Structures are given as structure tokens and as C-alpha cells.
């Protein structure tokens, strides 16, 4: 049977009371005290509990150092303990990922800026349209006001004519009454 291991690299402590950085778990039955397989395990690395020593000699320490301090690493001038064939290959891949990530971030930033710019253009168009509609509504209201004033003037003039006609008719009626009285 080939070895089968899972590796968990944690940025926090899964077991705060345990001081060790590296814990190895086997698959077993506790009651019968049987180990299912010596070839299967879960290795848990709690990075905050790993302490860097002056000399990094083991591959495990080299990898833990990379995981814990990789963000600060200068890929063009790595420390001596990263001058192994494997680590140079890892740094080459990480550098490529970093460049791709930087390119992706630049693309996302440009896309965000273009979206923001288009949003501002659309908002300006909507504002311009709203001002145009407001101006048109104001002009329509003003025209309606003028028409209403003219209508009121025509109505007032018509009422005056009606009043004058009514007064004339009343005078005519009064004159006719006077004539009828005088004939009697």
C-alpha cells in the first residue's frame, strides 16, 4: 500500500493548548487500540507555533518558513536556505502566480474604473434628461398659466359684456314699465 497523507497548513492554532507546531494523526480504533494503516495520516502544521531558528536545515523547516514568511520573501534575492533546486522551482512558480495576480488585479482595477466612468456618464445623461424634462415641464406650465390667464381675461370680458347687456335689458324693461304706467 502506498503512503497516503493529508497535510493541513493552518494560519491559526487548531489546538491552542498544544505547543507543538507539527501534529500527526493516524487512523485508528481507540477501543481496540488498532491502527488501520501506518501508511495513512493527517499532518497538521500550526504555523503560529513554528519558530524560526538561526539555521534552517530540514526540508520541513524550509517549507514552514516559506509558508509563514513567504509574503516577505524577495524572489530575486532569496536567503541561502532557499537556494535548493526545489525551492528555486517553487519561487519561480510563486513569482509567476504573483505576476499573474498583479496582472489580474490591474485588469480588475481597469475594469472597475471603466465601470465607474460609465456609471458617471450614465448618471450625467440621466441628470441632463431630467433637467431637460424639468425645463419642458416648466415651459408647459408657464404656457398653461398664460393660456389660463387669457381664458380668465376672455371670461371676464364676456362677463362684463353680459353684465352690460343685462343692465341694458333692465333699463329697457324699466323704460317699458314706465311707458305702460303712463299709458294707463
Q: Which helix (H) or strand (E) holds 7?
A: strand 4-10
Q: Which three cell numbers stand for residue 5?
A: 497523507
In degrees and rounded to multiples of 5, residue 50 shows phi and psi of: -85, 130
Query: How far apart are alpha carbons 80 and 90 in whole angstroms?
Result: 15
Other Cβ atoms within 10 Å of 41 Cβ, number: 16
Q: Is 21 within the bounds of a domain?
A: yes
DSSP string, 35-66: ES-TTEEEEEEEGGG----S---SHHHHHHHH
Q: How many domains does the chain divide into?
A: 1
Q: Is 42 within the bounds of a domain?
A: yes
Instruction: Identify the band that residue 51 occupies on the pLDDT scale cut at 50, 70 and 90.
Output: confident
Q: Is 74 within the bounds of a domain?
A: no
Q: Is 105 within the bounds of a domain?
A: no
Answer for the pair 35, 26: CB distance below 8 angstroms, yes or no.
Answer: yes
- 73-118 pLDDT tens trace: 887 788 888 888 888 888 888 888 888 878 878 888 888 999 999 9
What pLDDT sits at residue 136?
A: 93
Q: Is 18 within the bounds of a domain?
A: yes
Query: How far apart are alpha carbons 135 and 77 in whole angstroms?
Result: 67
Do the strands 4-10 and 34-35 form a parallel or antiparallel pair, or are they unpaired?
unpaired
Q: Is 27 within the bounds of a domain?
A: yes
Query: How far apart are alpha carbons 46 and 179 in whole angstroms?
Result: 127
Query: How far apart are alpha carbons 21 and 49 in whole angstroms?
Result: 5
Q: Provide the β-strand partners of residue 34.
A: 29
What pLDDT sits at residue 3?
A: 79
Give the neighbor-by-neighbor strand order of the sheet with 40-46. Answer: 4-10, 40-46, 22-26
Q: Is 38 within the bounds of a domain?
A: yes
Q: What is the mean pLDDT of residues 3-27?
A: 91
Q: Provide the β-strand partners of residue 80.
A: none
What pLDDT sits at residue 1?
A: 66
Domain residue limits at 11 = 1-51
Q: Is 10 within the bounds of a domain?
A: yes
Amino acid at each position: 500500500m502506498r503512503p497516503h497523507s493529508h497535510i493541513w497548513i493552518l494560519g491559526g492554532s487548531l489546538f491552542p493548548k498544544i505547543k507543538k507546531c507539527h501534529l500527526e494523526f493516524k487512523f485508528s480504533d481507540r477501543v481496540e487500540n488498532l491502527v488501520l494503516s501506518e501508511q495513512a495520516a493527517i499532518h497538521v502544521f500550526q504555523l503560529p507555533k513554528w519558530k524560526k531558528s538561526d539555521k534552517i536545515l530540514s526540508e520541513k523547516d524550509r517549507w514552514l518558513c516559506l509558508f509563514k514568511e513567504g509574503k516577505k520573501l524577495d524572489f530575486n534575492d532569496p536567503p541561502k536556505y532557499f537556494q535548493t533546486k526545489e525551492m528555486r522551482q517553487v519561487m519561480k512558480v510563486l513569482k509567476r502566480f504573483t505576476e499573474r495576480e498583479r496582472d489580474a488585479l490591474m485588469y480588475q482595477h481597469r475594469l472597475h474604473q471603466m465601470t465607474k466612468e460609465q456609471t458617471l456618464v450614465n448618471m450625467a445623461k440621466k441628470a441632463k434628461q431630467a433637467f431637460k424634462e424639468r425645463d419642458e415641464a416648466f415651459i408647459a406650465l408657464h404656457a398653461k398659466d398664460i393660456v389660463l390667464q387669457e381664458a380668465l381675461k376672455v371670461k371676464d370680458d364676456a362677463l362684463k359684456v353680459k353684465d352690460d347687456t343685462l343692465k341694458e335689458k333692465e333699463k329697457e324693461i324699466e323704460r317699458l314699465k314706465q311707458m305702460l304706467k303712463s299709458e294707463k
